[in-house]
Amino acid sequence: MVERETWATRVGFLVAAIGSAVGLGNLWQFPFKTAANGGAAFVVFYLIAVTLIGFPALLAEFVVGRRTRRNVVGAFEDLGGPGWRVVGGVALFTGFWILSYYNVVGGWVLRYVLGSATGAYFDDPGAYLSAVASGPEAVAAQLLFLAMAVGIVAMGIENGIEKATKVMVPSIVVLMLALAAWALTLGGAADGLAYFLSPDVGSLVDNAWTVVPDAVGQAFFTLSLGMGIMVTYASYVGEDDSLPVDGGVIVVSNTLIGVLAGVVVFPILFAEGIDPATSGPTALFEAMAAAFASLPAGRLLGVVFFGVVALAALSSAISLLEVAVSYATDNTDASRPTLAVGAGVVLFLLGLPSALDTGEPGGFSAWFVWFDAIAYKLLLPLSVLLVVVFVGWVLGRDAVAELREGSPGSDGLATVWLWTLRLIVLGGIIVTLRLGIGSLFLAEDAAFFAPF
C-alpha cells in the first residue's frame, strides 16, 4: 500500500472542499431548479435544507473520514465492521454515477468557452447547443474535460488537488463578483432579483410537497454529500482542525456562491426578456448564450461566465475522482496516475449514453435526464440516509467525541448536532426519499421508465 498523503495546510483543505462544493450544482442547476420551482420560494426551502439537513450531514461525513483516515469504503468498515462497507460502497457508486454525466456537462461548458471566444453561437444559439450537447462532439468534449480532471488527480493531493484548487477557487470568487456587479447594472436587474429573492408565501405552501425533495436533493448535491467526497477529503485532515468551523466556512461560502450565481443569471435573463421558468436545463445554456450574443462585449462576458463555470465544474470533478482513486490507492500497489487513468476510462464509458443521446432535437438527452433523476431522487438521499443512520445511531457518542477534537468548548453543540442528525436530518431524508421514489417509480409519468 502506498503511503497516505495529507493536506499541506488547513487552508488547502478548505479551498479544496469549497472547490468540490461549488460546481455545476451552484452555477447551473441552482438557477434552473429555482426557475423550474417558482423562483424565490425554492430558495427558501433550499436555504432551510442546507442549514438544517446539509450542514449536520456534512459534519457526519467529516467525522467518519477524519476518525479513520481511510478511503470511503475502508472508513465505514473500520468503524462498524465489514457489514458497514456497504455504506461506503453505495457512496462510491453514487459518486461514479453522478460524475459520469457531470463530465458530459463539463464538456459542454468547455465548448461554450470556446464558442464565446469565437462567437460561434452568436447567430443561432439553439443550433449550437444541439451540435454541442449530443453525439460525437459531446463525446470528444467529455473526454477532454475528463482528461483534465484525471491529470490533476494523478498529480496527488498536495501537488495536484491542493495546488490546482488554490488557484481555481479564488478565481471563481473574484470573477463571479465582477460578473454580479456588472449584471446589477443591467435593465433587468430589479425584476431578476425580485424573481429570485422575494418569495411568494402562497406558492411556498402550495408546492411544499414537490419542492421539498428537490430542495433537499439540491442541498446534498451542492455540498457534495452522499458521494464519499467529504469523507475522503476529511481523511487527509489533522486532529487539531475544528470540523464544525471548517464545515461552517464551506457551507457559507458555497451558499454565497450559489446566491451570487442567481444574482448573475436572473438579471441577464430578465434584461434579455427571457422567461427563466421556460428555460429548463439546456435552455439555460441557450438562454445565457442568446443573452451574450446580443449584449455589448458579449464575447468577453461569455468567456468569463462559461470560464468560471468550467473552473467550478473541474474543481468538483476532481474531488469525485479522488474518492475512487483514494479507494484504489488504499487497496492496491498500482501508482496514482495509473489508477486515475483507469477510473477515467470507466467514467468515460458510463458517460457515453448521456453524451450520445439527445432526446428531442435541441432538447435534453433522455439518458441524461434519467441518470440525473436516479441520482437526485434515489441514490443521493439513500446514500446520505445510510451515513446518517450509521453516524447518528451506530457511532453515536464516538462521533460526538471526534467532532469535539480540535474544537474545545463545543461539548453542548456537539450533542445538539447528534440529536439534529438523529431526528431532523433522518426525518427529512426519509420524507425526501419516499417522495423521490414515488416520482421515480410510482407516479403516472414515472421518471425511471421515461427512456424505455
Site for ligand PFF, rule CB under 6 A: 20-21, 23-26, 98-99, 102, 221-222, 224, 316-317, 319-320
* SS3 category, 446: coil
For residue 361, the minimal CB distance to ligand PFF (Å) is: 27
CB within 8 A of 110, min separation 6: which ones?
A: 141, 144, 145, 310
Residues 293, 132: Cα–Cα separation, whole Å: 17
Q: Min. distance of Cβ 24 from ligand PFF in angstroms?
A: 4
Question: Which of 304, 317 has the CB closer to ligand PFF?
Answer: 317
DSSP single-letter state for residue 357: -
Please state the closest distance from residue 187 (CB atom) to ligand PFF, in A: 30
Smallest gap, in angstroms, from Cβ of residue 254 to ligand PFF? 7
Spatial separation of the C-alpha atoms in residues 54 and 49, rounded to whole Å: 6
Q: Closest residue (Cβ) to ligand PFF?
A: 25
Nearer residue to ligand PFF within complex by CB, 58 or 440: 58
CB of 218 to ligand PFF, least distance (A): 9
d(CA 87, CA 416): 24
Longest dimension (CA), the chain: 61
Phi, psi of 238 (to 5 degrees): -80, 160
Residue 443: its H or E element? none
Write down the least CB distance from residue 284 to ligand PFF, Å.
14
In terms of CB distance, is 211 or 321 closer to ligand PFF? Answer: 321
CA distance 369 to 353: 11
CA angle, 76 then 249 then 318, to 5°: 55
Which is nearer to ligand PFF, 224 or 326 (by Cβ)? 224
The length of the chain in residues reads 452
CB atoms within 10 A of CB 92: 22
Nearer CB in complex with ligand PFF: 75/172 = 172
Distance between CA atoms of residues 354 and 371, nearest Å? 8
User: Long-range pairs for 440-445 at CB < 8 Å and ≥24 separation?
Assistant: 440/373, 440/374, 440/377, 440/378
Cβ neighbors of 340 (< 8 A, separation 6 or more) are 150, 153, 154, 321, 325
Query: What gap in Å lies between CA 390 and CA 107, rounded to an integer?
Result: 36
**Euclidean distance between CA atoms 418 and 82, whole angstroms:** 24
Q: Which is nearer to ligand PFF, 71 or 222 (CB)?
A: 222
197 grid coordinates: 429573492
Q: How far is the CB of 359 from ligand PFF (least distance, A)?
A: 22
Q: Which residues contact 186 (CB under 8 A, 6 or more apart)?
A: 192, 267, 268, 270, 271
Residue with Cβ nearer ligand PFF (18 or 41): 18
Asked whether the beta carbons of 242 and 63 are under 8 A apart, the reply is: no
Q: Which amino acid is at 46?
A: Y
Q: Residue 23 Cβ, how far from ligand PFF at the closest point, in Å?
A: 2
Of 67, 97, 144, 173, the closest CA to residue 394 belongs to: 67
Find the shortest distance in angstroms from Cβ 414 to ligand PFF.
25
> Shortest distance, CB of residue 319 to ligand PFF, whole angstroms?
5
Residue 207 DSSP one-character state? T
Do 172 and 257 form a contact (C-beta atoms < 8 A)? yes
Q: Which is nearer to ligand PFF, 103 or 134 (CB)?
A: 103
CB of 438 to ligand PFF, least distance (A): 24
Q: Which residues contact 184 (CB under 8 A, 6 or more apart)?
A: 193, 263, 267
When the beta carbons of 30 and 195 are compared against ligand PFF, the nearer one is 30
**Radius of gyration of the CA atoms of the chain, in A:** 21
Considering beta carbons, is residue 279 or 319 the nearer one to ligand PFF? 319
Identify which of residues 21 and 152 has a Cβ nearer to ligand PFF in the complex.
Answer: 21
Our CB check for ligand PFF shows the closer of 131 and 138 to be 138
Least distance to ligand PFF, CB of residue 354, Å: 13
